[in-house]
Each structure stands twice: as C-alpha cells, then as structure tokens.
Structure 1
Amino acid sequence: MSDNSLNHREKTALLMKRAAYAAVLTALVLIAAKLSAWAYTGSVSILTTLVDSLLDAGASLLNLLAIHHALTPADKEHRFGHGKAEGLAALAQSAFITGSAVFLMLQAGERLVSPQPVSNSNLGIAVMVFSILATFILTRYQHRVVKQTGSVAIQADALHYVGDMVVNASVILALVLGKYLELPWIDPLFALLISCYILSYAWSIFKKALDMLMDRELPDDERRKIKELVLAHTEVLGLHDLRTRISGPDLFIQFHMELDGHIALAQSYAIAEEVDREICMIYPHAEIIVLQEPYGIEVSKIVRAQRDEEKKNAG
C-alpha cells in the first residue's frame, strides 16, 4: 500500500472515531432532556423518543467499539483486516432498533385502548425542538464523514438519527394537536406510526450490513469505472475476472490483466504498478491484487473447456 493510502487510512480512522464519539455524546444529552420531558408530560410519544435515544446511545457505543476494532491493522490471524466488525455493528444496530419499535408499538397500543391526556405540552414541544436541532447538527457532521470515508457503521448511525428528527417532528405535531383539539388518542396514534417508521429504517440498516458481510460487489457503475481505468493503459490488452468487495474502511479489488505474452516479466510488473497507481488515485483506500496473463489466454481456456465438455458429452 502506498504512503498516500496510509495517510488516507489515518485520516479515515480519525474522522470515523470523532463521528462515533459525537454520536454517543449527543445521545446522552438527548436522553437527559427527554427523560425530564416525559416525567413532566407523561406523553407516550415522548416516551417513544426516549426509548429510541436510549437505544441510540447503546447502538452508538457499540458502533464506537466496532469502529475501533475495524480500524485495527491486518495481523497474522486476520490477513484482510478487521473491517467486517463494522458490518456486525450495523447488524446489531438493526436488531436494537427493531426491538425498540416493537416495544413502542405495545406501549402505543395500550395507550390507544386507555387514552390519557398529556400535561405540560409546552415543555415537551421545547425539548423536541432542542432534540431536532442537536440531531440535525450531528447528522450533518456524520454525512460529511460518510462522504469522506464510506463507513457503513457511521452511515447506519446517521440513518437512524435522521429518523429521530422525523420522529421528534411528529411528536411536536402530536403534542400540538392533542393540546388544541383535546384528542388524547392522537398521542398514542402518532407513537404507533413512528414505530412503523422505525421498523422501516431498521430493515434498511440490516440490508446494508448484510451486503458488507456477504461481500456484495460494488455497484455496476463503479465496476465499469475500474475497468475503464485499467483498459485506458496503452499496454493493457484485456481484463477479466474483476472482483470487488468492501470490508469496513477498506475496498478490495482483484482482476486478471491481459498483456502481450512476449514482454519481459519486469515490464509486466511495471505496467501492473502503473495501473495500481491509477486506481489508487480514484480509490485511495483500496487493496489491489493484479494477476498478469498473456493476451488471449482466457479465450483459450474457454475454448478448451468447451472442447472438454463436447468430448465428455460424446463419450
């Protein structure tokens, strides 16, 4: 890996750790604020956001630990690094969020059956406005970090904090409607709708985590970009068996590059190094494995396989 890649990795590690610490701190502040608001109002909608913030704190703390582990350099036992710890953390987050949604649905259902008026609505509204502002600042920072690092764990964290803003806004609406229309069932109804929303983004986080853990390929446009970078080199005559996967902060790229079969080994190595540098200009955090082959050998392999199949069928 080049010095450029090492510098990028250090910067990535620092950004991810800062974002993780910021998420834990924000969650703790919001827990204190919402706990006070729920104690004074008795609103089940505020209770939903309090439980959500408690789970946010647990998930963000788990995220922090996972990120520390994921950023540990590769060692003898883990040659490809520890990046999948990020995927495991995101998977755990989806389980946490699903559990909170089910709990809140039960609470909302009970309150729908036995509605209770909400008191001190103004305090609840003020706390929710504060929560939205604090969460907005956090998510802006998280999105900037995700854009620079591609971290799926920070992205999962940011996703459910964005959900929190929607939840907090809906709680404000529920408190306002409940106060001025004097309809006590509005509060638990909104809590039930919020729970359904939470379940939907729990599924989104689960899917992203599963993609990482199952080594899903990069999107087609990214794979196309890699192929174009390789084939842009004047000495490269062909490319096949491109394989890509993401593991935490690391991107792994592997492919077979076809060159003139008559060139010297040292020259083919130099070409591979040049191609490696070109790819690292676009993907500085990539681990690249290039296998050099004589041009046309892949076609020969296919032809031989077809002939062997024909012989087998004839026999």
Structure 2
Amino acid sequence: MTSPTLRSLTPRRLLMASIVVALVTIGLKTGAWWVTGSVGLLSDAMESLVNLASAVFGLVMVTIAARPADEEHPYGHHKAEYFSSGFEGILIIAAALGIVWAAGQRLLDPRPIEQVGWGLTLSVASSVLNGALAWVMLRAAKVHRSIALEADARHLFSDVWTSGGVVLGIVLVTLTGWLWLDPLVALLVALNILKEGARLLWRSSQGLMDEAAEPEVLDAIQAALDRFARAHEAAIRFDHVSTRRAGQRRFVDVHMHLPAAWSLGRAASMRGQLERDLMRAVPGLRATIQLLPVDVETHFFDEEDLK
C-alpha cells in the first residue's frame, strides 16, 4: 500500500471502519461463546465490546482534534487524541477485571466446552478481520502521527493475540479433557489486557505533559539547522532547541543568533527561510524562532524558574 493511499485513509475513516469491524466481531465472538460455553471466548467477546467503545470515543476525539485553533485554544485542539488513548486504557483495564471475575467463577465450577468446531471458526474469522484492520491502521498512524489511531490499532493487535490464546486453550481442553485450562487461559488473557491498558495510560499521561518529539523528528530538526548554518553566514548559530508533541502536531522553539549589525528586515528574512526549511524537514511542524544578537545569551533554566 503506497503512502498516498495511506494518507487518504484518514484517522476518521479508519476509526469508522473500526466501529463497523467491532460490531461484526462482537457478533462473531458472542456466537462462538454461545455455542461452546467457553469462558475464554466470553472474555474475548468482552474485549471486543471495549474495542467498540474505544473506537467510538476515538472518533469523537479525533474529530475534536481536527478543529482549528480559536481564541480559547490558540494552539489548537490536538491533545484531544490523548484523552482517547487514556480512555481506551481505562476501558481495557475494566474489561480485564471483568474477565478475572468470570474466569475465577469458572475455575470454581468447570464446565465442558461444546461445539468446538463452530466456536473456533467464528473466533478465527473475527481475528482475521481485526488483524487486517489493525495492520492498516498502524501503518496509517505512522503517516498521520495519530496516537488515537495507533492506540486503537495496538489494541486490535492485542485482541488478535488474545483470540489466539483463547483458541489454544480450547484446543488444549479438547485434547486433554482438562477443563481448568479454559479459565486459566482466560486469566492469562486478562493479564495481557491489563498490560496493554497500563501502557496506553502511561503514553497518554506523557503526551499531556508535553513530551518531547520523537528521536527521528529531533534528528530531522537538528539536521535542518545544521544545513542552514552551513549554507548561510558563519556567524549564525542556534541554541535552546526544545520540542513538544500534541497529538498529530509537533512544535519546536529555537533561538537564532545573528550579527547585531544586521537590519531587522534582513534578520526577519533569514528567519522566514529557516522556518520554511524546518517545515520541509518535518511536515506540519510549527516553529517559534526567537531572534537574538550573537553575543546575547538567555537563561531558561535559572534556579528561580525551577521554583
């Protein structure tokens, strides 16, 4: 799939597709649990309910994040995507706790699994749907730099692995006759889901606290600054380069030191050239460039600032 095609698959479109797939997989997995009575398949169906809720909330947050800046939000609404990721993490943890309760009840009261063939067929079919969508979503998330899209994709991949574990549990029960294997697999599934939920909550918290841009973005910014300095006056230098990310948007602040004898017009023209170079290096980047004379230093990290 080419990058232009991935760019046309916007986060909104893919999250709407995720809602449709979630509804289909809920039906398939619920049917699989109904015909087999497997608590492992029940846990799988419960996680699909989380997929649906997450996709709906993600769609709402992505729609909000796409709104332009206004007087109350001069830097835009891009951080709305982090709420989507955090909400998904909370739902995942809640589903995991529900699975633990159901598996604990089944461990105390084991029951045979019926109509294994139909159950496995329905579960595998739902996994194929989730896996195909998650693969496309994860690739598109990198293109659009959308944490909401990435969170939904990784959750779907987790769902695929979960379904694989459940299927393995059913096969083992069928081969060995050990009914306790089914709820045991369900408990292992719950632990995997808890891990995914905690990871999503952590990433959301880091994004809301103005985490620095990704290493590859930092490298692209520094390379653009180095090229600019080499291509122009030797007296130009840069310092106090700081970055942050907000959803799909990336921001950079930099001090650009120029000869004090330069006119304001010449300095402003040089600043405009640097801004264009940075935006070409990192599409969608928003740069704030402060002009300073070469012999002037600023102190961002004085002790008084840290109090």
Query: What TM-score results when the alignment is normalised by the length of structure 1?
Result: 0.88
Work out the CA distance in 1 between the residues paired with 2:172 and 2:296.
Answer: 72
Does residue 227 of structure 1 match 2:226? no
Change (3 A) 1:13 1:287: farther
Matches within 5 A, 1:126-275: 126-220=121-215, 222-233=217-228, 234-235=232-233, 237-275=236-274
Write the distance in 2 (CA, Å) between the matches of 1:62 and 1:226: 33
String of CA shifts for 1:12-51, please: whole Å, max 9, x gaps. 6961111111111111100011111111111100001110
Q: 1:78 aligns to what?
A: 73
Q: 2 CA distance for matches of 1:288 and 1:99?
A: 40
Residue type at the aligned position of 2:57: L
Which runs of no fewer than 5 residues in structure 1 stay unpaired?
1-10, 307-315
Distance 1:13 1:296, change over 3 A: farther
On the 8 A contact 1:252/1:286 being kept in 2, the answer is: yes
Letter in 2 for 1:228: A
CA distance in 1, matches of 2:289, 2:51: 42
Take 1:202 and 1:136, find their aligned partners in 2: how far apart are those partners? 19
SS of alignment partner, residue 82 of structure 1: coil
What letter matches 2:225 in structure 1?
V
Quick one: structure 1 residues 135 and 94, their matched pair in 2 at CA, closer, same or farther if it must change by over 3 Å?
Answer: same
Against the structure 1 CA distance between its residues 105 and 140, is the aligned structure 2 distance closer, same or farther, given a 3 Å change threshold? Answer: same
Equivalent pair of 2:238/2:255 in contact (CA under 8 Å): yes
- The residue type paired with residue 117 of structure 2 is N
| Residues 88 and 41 of structure 1: CA distance in aligned 2, closer, same or farther (over 3 Å) | same
Residue type matched to 2:33 in 1? Answer: W
Secondary structure of the 1:297 match is: coil
The question of whether the paired residues in 2 share the 8 Å contact of 1:143 and 1:158 is answered with: yes
Query: Which shows bigger deviation, 59-68 or 214-223?
Result: 214-223
What do the CA deviations read for 1:137-163 (whole angstroms, capped 9, x no partner)?
Answer: 101110121121110111111111110
CA shift, 1:285, in A, is 1.1
- What CA distance in whole angstroms lies between the structure 2 residues aligned with 1:15 and 1:111? 42
1:119 lines up with 2:111 in the alignment: no
2:26 to 31, 50, 63: 31
Give the AA of the match of 1:245.
R
How far residue 282 of structure 1 moved from its aligned partner, in angstroms, is 2.1
Give 1:283's aligned amino acid. Answer: V
Cα deviation, residue 228, structure 1:
2.9
- Distance, in Å, in 1 between the alignment partners of 2:51 and 2:219 is 37
Is the 1:124–1:175 contact (alpha carbons within 8 Å) kept by the matching residues of 2?
Answer: no
The more displaced of 251-260 and 233-242 is 233-242
Change (3 A) 1:13 1:264: farther
Count of residue correspondences = 292
Q: Residue in 1 aligned with 2:286? A: 287
Asked if structure 2 preserves the Cα contact closer than 8 Å seen for 1:256 and 1:292, the reply is yes
Contact kept in structure 2, 1:12 and 1:249, CA below 8 Å: no
State whether residues 36 and 115 of structure 2, in contact with CA within 8 Å, keep that contact through their aligned partners in structure 1. Answer: yes
Secondary structure at the counterpart of residue 183 of structure 1: coil
The amino acid across from 2:80 in the alignment is: A
Match of 2:238, SS state, is strand
Question: Which SS does the other structure have where 2:67 is aligned?
Answer: coil
CA distance in 2, matches of 1:178, 1:135: 25
C-alpha distance in 2 between matches for 1:132 and 1:142: 15
Q: Does 1:95 align with 2:90?
A: yes
Unaligned runs of 5+ in 2: 1-5
Contact kept? 1:227, 1:239, Cα under 8 Å: no
CA displacement 1:66-124 (0-9 Å, x = unmatched): 00001111111110111111001111110000000111011111111211111111111
RMSD (Å), alpha carbons: 1.8
> Using the alignment, how far apart are the partners of 1:78 and 1:188 within structure 2?
49
Residue 231 of structure 1 deviates from its aligned partner by 3.0
CA contact (8 A) 1:52 1:100 kept: yes
Structure 2 distance, partners of 1:247, 1:98, is: 25
Q: 1:249 to 1:156 in 2, by over 3 A?
A: same
